[in-house]
Amino acid sequence: MVPARKVSPFRLTSLLRTQKDPDLALRLFRNPNPDAKATPRAASSQRPFRYSARSYDLIVTKLGRARMFPEMEQIVEQMRQETRFSPKEILFCNVIASYGRARLPDPAVRTFHRIPSFGCRRTIRSFNSLLHALLNCRRFSGIEELCGDIDSYGLIPDACTYNIVMNAYCSLGLLDDARDLFDEMRSRGIPPNVTTFGTLISALCSNSMLEKAFGMKEKMLKAHNVRPNAFVYTSLIKGLCKVNELDTALQLKEEMCTGKEAGLDTAVCSTLIRALFAAGRKREVVGLLEEMRECRLEPDTVCYNAMMAGFCGENDFAAAFEVLNEMARKGCKADVVSYNVILSGLCRHGRWREAKELFDDMPRRGCLPDIVSYRTLFGGLCECRQYKDSTLLFDEMVFKGYRPRVESVHRIVDGLCEEDDIELLIFVLTIAAKGKCIDLYIWEMLTQRISKEFDLVKARELADHLRVL
């Protein structure tokens, strides 16, 4: 029997890079040569495996992305035993970023503070990583506190630092403070970059301050020689569509296509598709799609969703389903938003049977319904007075831990009271109690109905049930 090829540190790095499963990657990292430890004697004579810094970086990044944080921390602590090298700062930046994506600010802060204990020097790079993680977590007080301590770390803010703090101010609606930061940045000799301008322009557009946004666009090009990128154009076009300046948005799209730094992209196209449908200019969508093909730009899921939303808004569900089928033909996987768009349209137009069929068909199509799917169909069934179907769906929702919208629960309870269906009403109330969906409005409604509308036997039956809820 030919012995298995021994895994070298270089080979381990290669295997970790190609391994998609984080559990298998961790198993491989912890025991790269299992055959070498087949017997106690062999295990005792085996030299410790010499992990490379790159192997550590790969496994820590994989575990962080998979949110396997206890395992990730064990590997990070294992690096303390390494005598051949100290971990690079980028590894800790990746750890901090992983905690930020998981909305775990406290471990991110702890990671930043313990970097020096690994013999690694902190720079503005890890500082910015922590700032960005705190921004992801919306821990704005932590951002302010960290910036106040920057001198104690011996660090000097760079453009990235200012951009992150500016983004935080914009998220809080503090546009004047963000603009003051922009001025401070220039006074300190730090040139603003395209991200700086993109952050400010996006915030101005979100607040319908289009004149100032376009003024900022002119300034970035003429005063700072910074060309707008796709994000800047997308923000401006979204802002124009928001105030129904569709023709100006289309002109800006033409400018975007001729620019060197930005070309037509799917984010702009999906925005324009929605706006064209909303303005009753559906035929122009065909021209836009043709333009995308000429640019060799394939519609993505967001573009297709925008088209389906437009067709549903016009009650043209045949066209919406055709778009869904086209996605499948072109290998563009529909996401749960795709189905929710059609579900919402069908329910809005009272077509509950088709909505229910689509909902039931979602798992076969490779997409499981989410809480929005359940809430949409439940609300639609209640509005169409399909109380038996809506009760079964309500029971399934509560079992899955989903809570329906309050108004939908009110609708089904009110409807069953009107139909004098005590048996189904009691079942619904049992489900509602289990899902903690009974509020003061329902109690008041039931007590009024008991006293006014039910016969004595039914009133007593309902009252007895209410006592045990």
**Per-residue pLDDT averaged across 118-147, rounded?**
96
Residue 134 has pLDDT above 80, yes or no: yes
Give Cα 196 to chain centroid, integer Å: 23
Residue 124 to residues 53, 153, 157, 199, 279, Cα–Cα distance (Å): 22, 9, 7, 20, 48
pLDDT computed for residue 398 by the predictor = 94
Buried/exposed 173-193: b ≥16 CB within 10 Å, e otherwise: ebbeebbebbeebeeeebebe
Residue type for 323, please? V
Tokens of 422: 């005590």
Q: Which two tokens stand for residue 92?
A: 């800790």
Neighbours of 468 (CB within 10 A): 7
Q: What is the CA radius of gyration of the chain?
A: 29
**Length of the chain (residues):** 469
* Interval 74-100 mean pLDDT: 93
SS3 track for 67-103: CCHHHHHHHHHHHHHCCCCCCCHHHHHHHHHHHHHCC
pLDDT at 278 over 50: yes
Average pLDDT value over all residues in the chain: 89
| pLDDT of 102 higher than 90 | yes
Please, which pLDDT band fits residue 72 given cuts at 50, 70 and 90? very high
Are residues 140 and 146 in contact, defined by beta-carbon separation less than 8 angstroms? no
pLDDT at 367 over 90: yes
pLDDT at 451 over 60: yes
Q: What is the DSSP letter of 330?
A: T
The tokens for 460 are 């007593």
- The residue with tokens 């795709």 is 338
d(CA 345, CA 365): 19
Q: How confident is the model at residue 324 (pLDDT cuts 50, 70, 90)?
A: very high
The rounded distance, in Å, linking the Cα atoms of 232 and 268 is 10
Q: pLDDT, tens digit, for every residue of 238-277?
A: 999 999 899 999 999 988 887 666 678 888 999 999 999 9
Q: Which of 130, 160, 151, 128 is nearest to 142 (CA)?
A: 130
In the numeric block, which tokens belong to residue 132? 């960005």
Does the structure show a pLDDT above 90 at 138?
Answer: yes
- pLDDT of 455 > 60? The answer is no
How much is the pLDDT for 1? Answer: 40
pLDDT category of residue 448 using cuts at 50, 70 and 90: confident
| pLDDT tens digits for range 40-57 | 555 455 677 888 889 999
Asked if 232 and 197 count as a contact pair (C-beta separation under 8 A), the reply is: yes
pLDDT (0 to 100) of residue 425:
87
- Distance in angstroms (rounded) separating the CA atoms of residues 392 and 360: 13
Quick check: 456 pLDDT over 70? no
pLDDT tens sequence across 187-202: 999 999 999 999 999 9
pLDDT band at 2; cut points 50, 70, 90: very low
Residue 66 banded pLDDT, cuts 50, 70, 90:
very high
Report how far Cα 359 is from the mean position of its chain's Cα atoms.
22
Res. 361: pLDDT tops 90: yes
Q: Is the pLDDT of residue 88 over 90?
A: yes
Is residue 319 over pLDDT 50? yes
Q: 216-230, 313-327, 357-371, 442-456: lowest mean pLDDT where?
A: 442-456
